Chain A
Amino acid sequence: MPTLTYLQAISSALRDEMRADERVMLMGEDIGAFGGAFKVTDGFFKEFGADRVMDTPLAESAIIGCAVGAAAVGLRPVCEMQFSDFISCGFDQLVNVAGKMYYRQGLAVPLVVRLPSGGGFSGGPFHSQNPEAWFMHAPGLKVVAPSTAEDAKGLLHAAIHDPNPVCYMEHKHLYRRIKGEVPEGVYETPFSARVAQPGSDLVVICYGAMVPLALEAVSDGLDGASVEVLDLRSLVPLDEDAILDSVARCSKVVVVDEANATCAAGAQVAALIAEKGFEDLDGPVMRVATPDVPIPFSPPLEQAVLPSVERVREACRELLEY
């Protein structure tokens, strides 16, 4: 198996799908001749042409709206938001048109929106957000967030094959930092959680960039404790069984989000555990997340709000001592 970066794994999935299925087409700003702001579609323009690797006008609402129309007549569009932050300009089309279409009138809208998200680079308030919870709250949208190169490819294949609109959260901080062995060809990673590291004293539940962060935080063994890391991979659908299974085995839970804390994915996980896992708990569910502030620009300010290895470690230690 070849070793690919997270970013190369995304490109590989797109390339395989484009080669295998002529219905698949890519739409976005600067993705064609330029190859994309992060070079995910580098070389695609030459191989697949301007129609299937479409440089669109700078119009996010139009990108999503046109993708809905194209999907309704048989294409499988994959839209790139240059930064996930910009989806706010296409929110209405995604939430009101795409998300509600199947429930209202039985018309499926198979499209994928790729959302390069997350902070850590001094991107400031408009290039660093983690907007996944906006879409978890909107019925009819699936939301996935890979943390490894293998899942980045497999989840994207599954998203493109899915008959529903799927928000694919790809974390910019993982693009070139994460590498791994990736199977060749088309394979699907299921929209369910995976145990990234098994354990029995405490479980850290997280997704996306918080998975490698959590693994690093618990790598020194936390004074000999056996710590599990559960990688959610999919936020909608949320793998309730896997979450409750980890809770039953570990009894202590730390939930980590890079997103702002209020109503985040982790808040939903905590609510689920309070409702259905209460009897298994041996301490309060602890949360580590970004406080409810815009992501600031200057490095010391940004580092002060984003979850860190140290903050995750502290939360785990505190809970282990409970």
Chain B
Amino acid sequence: MSIDVAPPEEAAAGLTEHLTLEDRIWLLRAMLLMRGLEERAMNLYRQGKVPGSFYDGYGQEAVSAGAAFAMAPEDRLCILHRDLAAHLIRGVAPAQVLGQYLGRSIGITGGRDGNVHFGDFRLGCVGMVSMLPDMMLVATGMAMAFKMRGERRCAMTWFGDGSTSRGDFHEALNWAGVQKLPVIFVLENNQYAYSTPLDKQFAVDPVRRAEAYGIAGVTVDGNDAEAMFEVCREARERALAGDGPTLVEAVTMRMHGHAAHDDMKYVPKEQVEEWRARDPIDRQVARLVSLGVDVDALRASVSEEIDAATEEALASPMPDPATAASGVFCEGEPELLGDGMARWSGFTSGGGA
């Protein structure tokens, strides 16, 4: 199964209308930070400092960076495991990310859950569970509450090509379609669910199912952060206008194994090479270099930030074993989800919300 996306030149046309130069730099910065942090965490894993296994989103940085960039502070996000840039855009500190991998108390879950299983609810994010499309329903429920209360905000969630086979994918799209809810479903089609390729996962491109649910469906080049942003910005506008959910199929490639132990022998070398030439960071770098941006300086600043975060995370204590059995139940008044950061100039200048 191959899924067509517009060629890069065409997809790039007209993208900058809603993006300032500063926005475009922010998108690159988020992707560089995601890749750098994951590379650092991988090194720490190889040194035996990261317990369990290790998952990353190498090559998929544009999907979470572009999509999360289009979301307002009051919007709510259910983020998956190859979407680190979304956490960074919402305001999670790099040291907390590394601390999370390391199982330290500084991690978002304080060691209670591993690697990328986290969401800082204070920033409006809900962490994933391993049954991946489950969060599609959580996002749908949030959107249901927004609509009931007449609030102008929306929910976003990510999931992969494998998730389209599960019942929760159907239940969420159907429910959101029936109730015309303000929710954006980002299908991160990275060609493989662990080792299972697309032609063993579905018989038709899943974005075509959108029509069957009575909702909008869009395919986008998931390796183009600006195209991702634009498609999600439009989806958010549709949601706020009361026109219901959008299924965004971001076509990308999982460039690393499912997890660190996976050598992905099942992936043809040519396929990896083909996608390497479409690297999302290289693409954004080329754009910004042509506009005279000092990308080397940006790389250096990101690198410094990661070094400092590494130091901070490694200095953070391990969680206290005496606390392992506590906090299963909430006592007292629950703390609600808070607002996250929004970096897009359309929000910061007050023009986009």
Task: Judge whether A65 and B171 touch: CB under 8 Å.
Answer: yes
The yes or no answer to A47 lying at the interface (CB within 8 A) is: no
Task: Judge whether B146 and A93 touch: CB under 8 Å.
Answer: no
How far does the alpha carbon of A164 sit from the alpha carbon of B330 in the complex, in Å?
Answer: 6
Task: Judge whether A93 and B137 touch: CB under 8 Å.
Answer: yes
The yes or no answer to A56 lying at the interface (CB within 8 A) is: yes
> Taking A57-B178, A92-B134, A105-B127 as contacts, is the C-beta distance between A70 and B329 under 8 angstroms?
no
Say what secondary structure dominates the interface of chain B: mixed
The yes or no answer to B331 lying at the interface (CB within 8 A) is: yes
Number of A-B contacts (CB under 8 A): 142
> Taking A61-B167, A140-B328 as contacts, is the C-beta distance between A73 and B336 under 8 angstroms?
yes
B residues less than 8 Å from A103 (CB atoms): 112, 327-328
The residues in B between 111 and 146 inclusive whose CB is less than 8 angstroms from any CB of A are 112-113, 117-121, 126-127, 129-131, 134-146
Shortest CB–CB separation between residue A195 and chain B, in angstroms? 26
Task: Judge whether A96 and B174 touch: CB under 8 Å.
Answer: no
B residues less than 8 Å from A163 (CB atoms): 329-334
Shortest CB–CB separation between residue A163 and chain B, in angstroms? 4
B residues less than 8 Å from A73 (CB atoms): 76, 142, 145-146, 336-337
Task: Judge whether A65 and B134 touch: CB under 8 Å.
Answer: yes
A residues less than 8 Å from B148 (CB atoms): 25, 51-52, 75
Task: Tell me the count of chain B residues lying within 8 A, CB to CB, of chain A.
Answer: 48
The yes or no answer to B155 lying at the interface (CB within 8 A) is: yes
Task: Judge whether A92 and B121 touch: CB under 8 Å.
Answer: no
- Among B112, B131, B139, B141, the residue within 8 A (CB) of A104 is B112
- Among A65, A106, A110, A139, the residue within 8 A (CB) of B121 is A106
- Among B109, B113, B139, B331, the residue within 8 A (CB) of A69 is B139
Of all chain A residues, the one with the shortest Cβ separation from B140 is A66
Task: Judge whether B108 and A105 touch: CB under 8 Å.
Answer: yes
How far does the alpha carbon of A103 sit from the alpha carbon of B331 in the complex, in Å?
Answer: 12
The residues in B between 321 and 353 inclusive whose CB is less than 8 angstroms from any CB of A are 327-337
Task: Judge whether B330 and A69 touch: CB under 8 Å.
Answer: no
> Sorted from nearest, which 3 A-B pairs have the closest CB atoms?
A69-B141, A65-B137, A108-B334
Give 27 CB contacts A-B under 8 Å.
Answer: A51-B148, A56-B175, A62-B171, A65-B137, A65-B140, A67-B141, A68-B141, A69-B155, A70-B142, A72-B76, A72-B138, A73-B76, A73-B142, A75-B145, A75-B148, A96-B131, A97-B129, A97-B134, A97-B138, A101-B126, A104-B118, A105-B118, A105-B121, A106-B121, A107-B334, A164-B329, A164-B330
